[in-house]
Structure 1
Amino acid sequence: MEGVKHQKTTYALKGNKPAMIGNVGGHQKNTINKPATAAAVAEGDGVRRVTLAEYKQAAQCLAEAFADDDVAKYFTEVPDRAHWTEKQKWDLHVSILEYITYAHILKGLVLAAGPDYGCVALWMLPGQNMDDYLTILRSGMWRLWYKLSAEGKTRFFDEFFPLLHDTKHEVMGVRDDESYYLVYIGTKPAARGKGHARKCIEYVTKSADAEGRACYLESSNAANPAIYRKYGFETIKTIHLKRAEKVVDLDIMVREPQPGKNQSSLSLEKVDSLVSNASSVTRPVSVSMKLGGEKEAIASISVI
């Protein structure tokens, strides 16, 4: 409901622990996807916008894409959870992706291509983030504080978040809030090599070119930068996660707008119909990873 003053109780990731915020009053404009059916909304060129009714299917695609990713396992393969079964670790892995996917449907843009969610991409659009209390509450992201182990929380909130947040701000500078952010893209093993990831990337990069905006991503698989370079991304630097026995590298890549490629599939005027209009003055804390190893075998994740 728009323009109604009310009280609510929400959760936020404040520092590195969820904080309950009570009696928050004010005017809240809330634009929420309410799909008539569970079918994804057709957008053109085989790309579909994923709705809230489909977040589990979309997250399952990403879970399969990230099954062996070093960054994904960085939070589940921890010493203080060595006694956990593989199923317990998998369930946590899926839960993390479900929370993140749900949050991106609420405040970002989630795309799918191919049959049975063959490829899923999560984008954060210019001027948008999902660090507001309501999104964190509704998506379930606050539950990560209670589901991750002590070491998992340290890696997730104290190392991973600050490193990626600070790196993106350092690399993008004044363009940080004005760029497109490919925060998650994953292709199921059976759907790779069919061009689905290309469609999910170019659907947005066409808009970035038309608007003169850059795109940003992080890649945790050594095979992926070569793939991303085909779409115009270039490696800027490499950063490292160091708390595990094996150091995990992430390549930071930026795609500058490319003159002449001005056919836009997604204009910012169209964004209002895709995401909430609620704005935030707080810089998002973001996390991103990529999975690859073969043609179209790419994936990325972000919590912001």
Structure 2
Amino acid sequence: MEFTLSSCSHSDSSPKPATAAALVGQMIKRSLVPPKWNVSVRAVTMSEHREAALTLAHAFAADDYAKYLVDPGISAAEEKWKLHVDIMTYAVAAHCINGLVTTIGPDYDSVALWLPPGKDLDGWWTLFRSGLWRLNFQLSREGRKRYFDEILPLLHDTKAAVLGERDHEAWYLVYLGTKPNSQGRGYARSLLEDMIRRADRENRPIYLESSALANNVYYAKFGFEVKKEIYLQREQAPIRLSIMVREPRRGGGQLPPSSASNTISSSSSSSSPVPVSVVSSPSTSSTPSSSLPSSSTMTMTIADSASSSSSSLSSLGVDDHGDHGEGREKGTIMIAEEIKYA
């Protein structure tokens, strides 16, 4: 016996798509993905943190800073990737809880992690619920030394030294990243400009840490200036991070021309997210090794790590189209978590 699908209607007069293209067009129109996600910035909720984390994981997959944390003591590529994804997942969750996570694009194409003025990730509830506490068990012995004894203290102290009395008044860009296959569409630019407008309205500076010189040029177009350069030294080739700060401008200043006409709507709390970038001191980019910070001076508690984890490696891989070198912007130094990319 042969079965066939048939319409319940006896009439054959109902309109039908004439071509495959028409059918596809009809399916697109009926998509459950909100159309405005393509052009507007929105806040990410806790229920979406894993999707946003995957975007950052892919954006920072080739980032030197990310590898600096994951490589020590781990040889299997699959294990490295899993740890990398976990780190990003914890970071995004922590910022959803006590910071601000923004995204744009139909599939979380670009994501930014921000710490608003006066906010940190040190609270026990944030550390517990986000999963950041797991890093103490997941990182290798050398990885723990790099993260807890070197990175967190260095980022925390550098931010305090660069911003001074304004340390708790600035927006901190922890991570800004775009999926490799979504770069060149201006998504990162949209996320960055959205926060710039907010910071200018509030008369607040924006702080971030950049791990790529190419990103420094990109950020400079938006008014960011290199203030200092710091180095992670527990490897043969030190990892350089450029600390950048953008001062608030009345009227929003002059932003570089953009083909995208979006504005970001953040549904976060009243406080704005803080962009993080690598702050550099007024020294030349070719700082001699003798002047590099000593690792012996870096020690930090888990609580302190939350503050430094908010540091951002946002300048990684930023391209001229507004997306970080395909997802490479370093952001928060994972406090037991994360990072960002612009």
Q: Given the two structures, how large is their TM-score scaled by the length of structure 1?
A: 0.78
Q: Which residue of 2 aligns with 1:288?
A: 312
Deviation at 1:125, TM superposition (A): 0.6
Of residues 306, 321, 331, the one that matches 1:301 is 331
Q: Distance in 2 between matches of 1:167 and 1:132?
A: 21
Provide, for residues 97-136 of structure 1, a one-character-per-residue CA deviation record: whole Å limited to 9, x for no partner.
0001000001111001112111000011112112100110
Match of 2:100 among 92, 104, 109: 109
Q: Is 1:47 aligned to residue 41 of structure 2? A: yes
- Greater C-alpha Rg: 2
Q: Say whether 1:58 aligns with 2:52.
A: yes
Q: SS of the residue aligned with 1:178?
A: coil
Q: What is the rounded CA distance, in whole Å, between the counterparts of 2:272 and 2:246 in structure 1? A: 23
Deviation at residue 300 of structure 1 after TM alignment: 2.5
2: distance between equivalents of 1:270 and 1:134? 19
Match of 2:61 in 1: 67
Q: Partners in 2 of 1:274 and 1:213 — Cα distance?
A: 10
Do the aligned partners of residues 274 and 168 (structure 1) sit closer, same or farther apart at CA in structure 2, a change above 3 Å counting?
closer
Which segments of 5 or more consecutive residues in structure 1 lack a partner in the other structure?
1-37, 276-280
C-alpha distance in structure 1 between counterparts of 2:225 and 2:136, whole Å: 34
Q: Which has the higher contact order (CA 8 A, sep 6+)?
A: 2
Secondary structure at 1:271 match in 2: coil
CA distance in 1, matches of 2:189, 2:308: 27
Q: 1:301: Cα distance to partner?
A: 2.7
Task: Please give the residue correspondences for 1:24-39 in structure 2 after superposition, counting only pairs within 5 Å.
Answer: none
1:25 match: none
Please report how far the alpha carbon of residue 265 of structure 1 lies from its aligned counterpart in structure 2 after TM superposition.
6.1
The 1:254–1:43 alpha-carbon spacing in structure 2 relative to 1, beyond 3 Å, is: farther
Amino acid at match of 1:200: L
C-alpha contact 1:76 1:92 (8 A) present in aligned 2: yes
Partners of 1:204 and 1:266 within 8 A in 2: no
Note the C-alpha offset of 1:214. 0.3
Between the aligned residues of both structures, percent identity stands at 45
CA RMSD of aligned residues (A): 2.7
In 2, distance between residues paired with 1:170 and 1:273? 23
Cα separation, 1, equivalents of 2:39 and 2:330: 22
Moved >3 Å (runs of 4+):
42-45, 264-267, 272-275
What secondary structure sits across from 1:260 in the alignment? Answer: helix
Displacement of 1:44 in angstroms is 10
Contact 2:94-2:127 at 8 Å conserved across structures: yes
TM-score (norm 2): 0.70
1:233 and 1:123 mapped to 2: Cα distance? Answer: 16
2:121 is matched with which residue?
Answer: 130
Query: Which residue is equivalent to 1:35?
Result: none
1:127-206 alignment runs, 5 A limit = 127-206=118-197
Amino acid paired to 1:165: H
- Equivalent-residue separation in structure 2 for 1:272 and 1:292 (angstroms): 30
2:319 partner letter = E
1:124–1:182 Cα contact (<8 Å) kept:
yes
SS at match of 1:218: strand
Question: Partners in 2 of 1:173 and 1:150 — Cα distance?
Answer: 33
Question: Alignment partner of 1:151: what SS?
Answer: helix
Q: Secondary structure at the match of 1:137?
A: helix
Q: Which residue of 2 aligns with 1:259?
A: 250
Q: 1:271 aligns with which of 255, 269, 272?
A: 269
2:282 aligns to what? none
Q: CA deviation at 1:270?
A: 6.4
Residue correspondences, number? 257
CA distance in structure 1 between the aligned counterparts of 2:37 and 2:182, rounded to whole angstroms? 20
Deviation (angstroms), 1:56: 0.8
For 2:272 and 2:195, the matched residues in 1 are separated by: 13
Q: Do the aligned partners of 1:206 and 1:265 also contact (CA within 8 Å) in 2?
A: no
C-alpha contact 1:207 1:266 (8 A) present in aligned 2: no
Inter-CA distance 176–44: structure 2 relative to 1 (3 Å threshold): farther
Q: CA deviation at 1:258?
A: 1.1
Name whichever structure is richer in strand by fraction.
1
The offset of 1:288, in angstroms, is: 2.8
Relative to structure 1, is the Cα distance of residues 52 and 274 closer, same or farther in structure 2, using a 3 angstrom cutoff?
A: farther
Q: Which runs of 5+ in 2 are unaligned?
A: 1-31, 254-262, 274-302, 336-342
